[in-house]
Amino acid sequence: MSGIRAQQKEKTRRLLIDAALNQLSAERSFSSLSLREVAKEAGLAPTSFYRHFSDMDELGLTLVDEAGLTLRQLMRQARQRIAKGGSVIQISVETFMELIESNGNVFRLLLRERSGTSAAFRAAVIREIRYFTMELCDYLQHAKNLDTEVAYMQANAAVTIVFSAGSDALDMDDKSERAQLSKQTIQQLRFIARGAAELSDRRKISKKTNK
């Protein structure tokens, strides 16, 4: 099996995925996309859609997977940059904002669409974000030597702040406005980091004195 057939199939599958992503915008949520619209944008007959996905829901799940991949790519890239030195928070936020600029529509799926979708879809989105949060939590625990619970709360707050800022950035066309938003987000993350570090310290001290 040379696979010239499977190869073609994969190609038009991507056509469908990209067609869906391209139609996303501030006005247009995934849940408001119709099977026919997506097929048309991909240059296919409506019924051909079924050769690749049984449902718009299934396409949606695939898109969320795609978004998850992008999120991991983000983590890898940020880690590489951090290894070269500099402010961890600043580098992370800037890397995130860059990725939003180039992969805007992929992120809309994770940042918007909190309702009006299937339960499976929402669960998938939540799973991706949780995974991301846990990665950050691990990092905080080890690199910053934080109390487990405190690390989780910091990670959770940080992800909420960054994703919310990312969501806002999606609708900004002015570049200086985005830069301002980045700056503010960085400062907010520092607030959180500072507060978390203090609580973690206090907890450690109280544990020692209890011994």
Residues that bind DNA (CB under 7 A): 1-6, 8-9, 12, 34-37, 43-52, 55-56
86 touches, from DNA, its own copies, none (C-beta below 5 to 8 Å by class) = none
Q: Is 78 in the site for its own copies (CB under 8 A)?
A: no
CA distance 28 to 116: 12
Count how many Cα atoms sit within 13 Å of the Cα of residue 77 in the half-sphere of its side chain: 15
Toward DNA, which CB reaches closer, 53 or 163?
53
Q: Is 187 in the site for its own copies (CB under 8 A)?
A: yes
* CB-based contact 15:160 (threshold 8 Å): no
198 touches, from DNA, its own copies, none (C-beta below 5 to 8 Å by class) = its own copies
Got the DSSP string for 22-86? HH-SSS--GGG--HHHHHHHTT--GGGGGGT-SSHHHHHHHHHHHHHHHHHHHHHHHHHHHHT-S
**Closest Cα to residue 64, out of 97, 11, 16, 17?**
17
Q: Which stretch binds its own copies (CB under 8 A): 24-32, 63-71, 80-88, 90-98?
A: 24-32
Q: Is 120 in the site for its own copies (CB under 8 A)?
A: no
161 touches, from DNA, its own copies, none (C-beta below 5 to 8 Å by class) = its own copies
Q: Is 35 in the site for its own copies (CB under 8 A)?
A: no
CB of 207 to its own copies, least distance (A): 18
**Closest Cα to residue 108, out of 125, 86, 123, 85?**
125
Q: Is 119 in the site for its own copies (CB under 8 A)?
A: yes
Q: Is 127 in the site for its own copies (CB under 8 A)?
A: no
